[in-house]
């Protein structure tokens, strides 16, 4: 994502710009910025969906920190995606579970023996990033007018 203009502002974030999250023991995986807009990012590369209660906590954290939610997930129910959108965020969905580039043989076995979608790309496929960038372009005016919802 760095090649597309994203800057990482923090990892495992429980505190951001002087605000400390202490309601729960959760953190945001990343806080990233692009084109003057800051996103609280949660990455879920698991076969199962994010727990709904955890998702709501992460959305609440984004609101508390004044950042837009950006969930990067292997999959999720449409109701979750709608909820993320309702909170002013974006659900970046990919189908295959992602493995490190060095795990090509493992990925091959997962695909052949289990019939599951898996991949070990060098980077997030450009089509997935393009969908987000197009969403951002379509919504950037609204986002900058109302940065904290």
Give the distance, in angstroms, between the CA of residue 145 and the centroid of all CA atoms in the same chain: 22
- At residue 96, the pLDDT reads 77
What share of the chain in percent tops pLDDT 90?
48
* CATH number for the domain harbouring residue 134: 3.40.1350
Q: Please work out, in degrees rounded to the nearest 5, the angle formed at the alpha carbon of residue 78 by the alpha carbons of 139 and 62.
A: 50
Average pLDDT on 34-60 reads 91
For residue 148, give the 3-state DSSP assignment: coil
Q: How far is CA 129 from CA 17, 18, 31, 51, 77, in A?
A: 27, 30, 17, 24, 20
Give me the residues paired with residue 65 across strands. Answer: none
- Is residue 62 predicted with pLDDT exceeding 90? yes
Task: For residue 2, count other CB atoms closer than 10 A to its CB.
Answer: 9
Instruction: Report the chain's mean pLDDT, rounded to a whole number.
Output: 87
Q: Which domain holds residue 68?
A: 2-145
Q: What's the total number of domains in the chain?
A: 1
Tell me the pTM. 0.83
CB 57 within 8 A of CB 26: yes
Which of 61, 42, 39, 62 is closest to 50 using CA atoms? Answer: 42
Predicted confidence (pLDDT) per residue in 110-141, tens digit: 888 898 888 887 777 777 888 888 888 888 66
């Amino acid at each position: 994502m760095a090649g597309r203009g994203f800057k990482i502002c923090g990892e495992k974030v429980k505190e951001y710009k002087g605000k400390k999250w202490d309601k729960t023991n959760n953190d945001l995986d990343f806080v990233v910025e692009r084109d003057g807009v800051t996103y609280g990012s949660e990455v879920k590369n698991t076969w199962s969906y994010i727990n709904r209660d955890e998702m709501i906590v992460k959305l609440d954290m984004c609101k508390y920190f004044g950042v837009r939610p950006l969930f990067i997930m292997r999959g999720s129910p449409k109701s979750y995606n709608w909820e993320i959108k309702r909170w002013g965020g974006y659900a970046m969905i990919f189908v295959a579970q992602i493995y490190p580039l060095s795990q090509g043989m493992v990925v091959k076995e997962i695909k052949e023996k289990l019939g599951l979608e898996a991949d070990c790309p060098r980077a997030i496929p450009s089509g997935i990033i393009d969908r987000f960038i197009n969403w951002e372009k379509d919504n950037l005016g609204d986002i900058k007018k109302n940065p904290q919802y």
